[in-house]
Every structure is written in C-alpha cells, then in structure tokens.
Amino acid sequence: MTARLVPLVLFFAPAVAAADDSPSRAEVTAALRKATAYFHGTVAARGGYAWVSSPDGKLRHGEGNCGPGTVWVQPPGTPAVGLAFLDAFEATGDEAHLKAAADAARCLAKGQLRSGGWGYRIEFDAPGRSEFAYRDGPKGGREFTPKTPAPGGWDVWRQRQHKDDMTVLDDDTTPAALRLLLRVDAALKGTDKAVRDAAAYALESVTNAQYPIGAWSHNYDRFPPGPADEKHYPVKPASYPEKWSRTWTKDFTGCYMLNDRITQNVIATLVVAHRTTGDAKHLAAAERGGRFLLLAQMPDPQPAWCQQYDRDMRPVWDRKFEPPAITGLESQDVLETLLLLYRATGKKEYLEPVPKAVAYLKKGLLADGTVARFYELQTNKPLFFTKDYKLTYEADGVPAHYGFAFPSRLGAIDAEYRRLAALKPGEPREKPAAAGQELAGAVRKALAAQDARGAWAEPGVVRDADGRKVTPAGGVVSSQTFVDHVGTLCRYLAATK
C-alpha cells in the first residue's frame, strides 16, 4: 500500500463556538472556494485526478505513470478528491463544490468495469482504453460478462482469466469510488442517470462478491452472480494453524482479506450506502461483514486479527513480506470498524471484542510506543524481514517499501469505546467535533500555505508520461495535501456552525 486511505471513522458535528482568535468562517469558506476553483479548473483531467501534478496540470502521476488520457482511481486519486469537494459542498452549500464532485463522479462512471468496480486507473484515450473492459467502452457492457464457474470466489478469481476486467478492492480503490457515486447521487437527488446507474451497478457487484462468512477478497475479474458456495467457503471461527512455513509459500490461499483495510473499507462503504439510500439491505450486508470481524478475532493468547485467512479461517501467507501473523496495523483498523458498526446500529456485540483486543495490543507495543505490523503466532514476538525477505526478530535493515511498525491509535480507540459504552439509551452515538486550538491552528496553517491561485504548492517532483522525473519551478500540487487541507477546513466549519 502506498496511498493513504479514507478514514473509516465518520463524525458529525454539532454547533460549537470558535475561539476568539480563530480564523473567521468567511475566511475558511473563501479558501475552500479558491481551492476548488483551482483544483477543478486547472488540475483536473476529464473530471479526474492523479496523485501528484505540476501546477499547470500538464504533468501528473499516480502510483504509476499518467498519460494525457489517464486518471487515477486509487486514493488519493479521483474518488478522494471528489469526496473532498463533496465535503466542502456540505459544509458551505456552495454549488461550485458540488459541480466539481459531480464531474469526478461522472469521470468514474466512464471508467467503471463490466465486473462492477474499478481498477487502479482509468484510460480515456486510444489505444489504452481498448485494454480494459469498461462498461462504456469498446468491449461492451454487462451482457458480455463471462460466467463464473463453481465454487466461485477466490479459487476462481485468483486465476486472473480476465485481467482487463479486474475490480480492485485493495487500497480503498473501488470502495472509495462507490462512496463518491453514492453521495453525489444523493446530493443530486438522483437526477444524473449515469451516476445513479453506476452506483447501483457497483453496489450489486460488491454485495454479490461478499462471501457467506461476510468477508471480501482483494479483487475479482467478472461480475459476481451471487455469493460463493458456502460448502466450499464454510462459516467458522478463526483458528491457529497446526504449523506454518517460515518461507514464502506462493500459494495465495488467503481469500478473506483485512490487509489494506479491504473488508473494513467495504463495510464502511455499505454503511454510507444505507445512509444515502435508506435501503436496509445495505446495512444488513455491512453487518454480515461485522460478523466476519467477530469470527476473525483470533482466540487466546492473541485476541486480535490477521491480514488474511484461508477458507478454513486460518492465517496464511500473501505476498513475500506478509506472513501468517497477528497484525498490529489491521487490528486497529478492525477495532475502528467495529466502533463504526456500533455507531450505525447500536448493537453491543460490536463493542464486546474491543477491551480484550486493546489490552492485548497495548502489551505488545514496541519500545518506541508503536505497534508492530506482525506478531508471531502463539509467541507474540514482533516479526520483521531482512532486505532479502527472510523472517527475523530484528527490526534493523528492513525493506524500505513496506511498513513494519506504525503509530499506536489504541488510546483513541479505547477512549471512543469507553464513550460509546457509557452512553445512555437514546443518546446520540455520533461523536461531536470540537473547535479547539489544535483545529484552529491547523486551519491557520492551511490558510497561510494557500497561494493566490488557491493552490497548496510544495517542493517535489512529478513524472511525465514516460516516467521521467520533472521538478517544476513552482513546486507540485499533491492530491493528498488538497484532501487533508480541505478536510481540516470542513471540520472547522462544521464545528463552528
């Protein structure tokens, strides 16, 4: 994973008074309008975005190179930027933000695959466009979808027979795109047929891709006709393997994925689907995902979660630097998702695993207070890799492309658990935002960094279509920086309303 993901925890703010020395709401509203006008007017390509762009928008790249007709879906690409526009519209009521968000949603609709979701990028120009099975493209729509043989699921999808039609759930790619479509459709009150149809088609696809146990895989390469065969993918609780290889097995049997928030992000997206459509079936699907999270919690002595499980609910290898292990990072993601489900449903079952998991993970913190990405099964020793991908207990000399230790969020998770557990019946479960000095300081920093165009330019390089590094004289503009600053400004407006 290289892109930061959209947070799972969604808070709604009541009216809170700003401090006297805080920025005015008028300043913040004006800054948002300038930011959207610049990003939408100069940086956008066909309504979509990459990760990094030159200030004039002519050079762009995502995790890979971007030609003139390429936009990036994988956050912080098009969906992340579009969601930031939509947050600005909801915070201000300014239709300019909604127009920018709607253009991003229409861009995604043009890049939707016939399998129902999205790949990491969208190609608009020939010959690149003919390489993918877009619904709105030369390879046709749903009527051309290949049939799925039994038993369905990962045992079929991992064969990658239709690489041009690969719906990717990894790195919040398809879930983020679907969240944007759902929220834009709601904001437009269903008046844009292309947006509404794309959202409905993706929802059906993602829901059908859910396993009987409630989880999702990394990807799938055809429109799923319905859940996979429960006889082949039985519903059972997680367990430790009798033995596991300390070298990479290359078998890719991990069909149930928590790595990179795959299942967690789909659950959060289904909660959004329920909020925007009012259809109870979407919340029911989210709760099926929640039941998987409950089943996936490992038994003592390590009551947390693993990155991936096979169809018998045992932790297994994925890539050569992702062993069967307890994972500190994804366990925190799971805990936040359980709290999200409690806020959405009020069901205590989603709170029950939290205290035990938090206590266990706190005991395993590294000397610097971070959580290890991996803890050895049964022994709980932190695991790392050498640069030639051999397991080790030593944290020195690990590969630089992957994170093996992460900041602990356990204090915040525990505090939110305690807040929710203490609520009386009928009290609102959403957490209010506060316009304190920390938020006001972040707003002042964002306002000071914005230039006259509305851009947040910063030093850096951008790659041209051939992958060569270019250092623009005026710096670069980062989609992640845009999303972060817009999020800060919107939270401030919500908290000071």
Write the pLDDT tens digit of every residue in 259-318: 999 999 999 999 999 999 999 999 999 999 999 999 999 999 999 999 999 999 999 999
Confidence at residue 435, expressed as pLDDT on a 0 to 100 scale: 74
What residue ranges do the domains of the chain occupy?
A: 25-495
**What DSSP line would sit under 183-199, residue for residue?**
HHHHHTTT--HHHHHHH
What CATH number was assigned to the domain covering residues 25-495? 1.50.10.20
Contacts of 177 (CB under 8 A, 6+ apart): 73, 78, 79, 108, 117, 118, 202
Confidence at residue 141, expressed as pLDDT on a 0 to 100 scale: 63
Write the pLDDT tens digit of every residue in 256-271: 999 999 999 999 999 9
- Altogether, the residues listed in the chain come to a count of 497
Give pairs for 436-445: CB < 8 Å, separation 24+: 436/19, 437/19, 439/488, 439/491, 439/492, 439/495, 440/18, 440/19, 440/21, 440/22, 440/23, 440/492, 442/488, 443/22, 443/23, 443/28, 443/488, 443/489, 443/492, 444/23
Identify the band that residue 248 occupies on the pLDDT scale cut at 50, 70 and 90.
Answer: very high
Structure tokens at 431: 């957490």
Q: Across the chain, what does the average pLDDT equal? A: 94
Confidence at residue 74, expressed as pLDDT on a 0 to 100 scale: 98
Does residue 215 have a pLDDT over 50?
Answer: yes
| Mean pLDDT of the 8-36 span | 71
In 284-304, which positions are buried (b, 16+ CB within 10 angstroms) versus exposed (e)? ebbbbbbbbbbbbbbeeebbb
Identify the band that residue 28 occupies on the pLDDT scale cut at 50, 70 and 90.
Answer: very high
Q: Answer with the residue of higher pLDDT: 138 or 130.
A: 130
The mean-pLDDT minimum among 9-18, 100-109, 336-345 falls in 9-18
Identify the band that residue 140 occupies on the pLDDT scale cut at 50, 70 and 90.
Answer: low
- The Cα–Cα gap between 49 and 75 comes to 10
- The Cα–Cα gap between 415 and 434 comes to 16
Write the pLDDT tens digit of every residue in 402-434: 999 999 999 999 999 999 999 998 899 998 777
What percent of the chain lies above the pLDDT cut of 90? 91
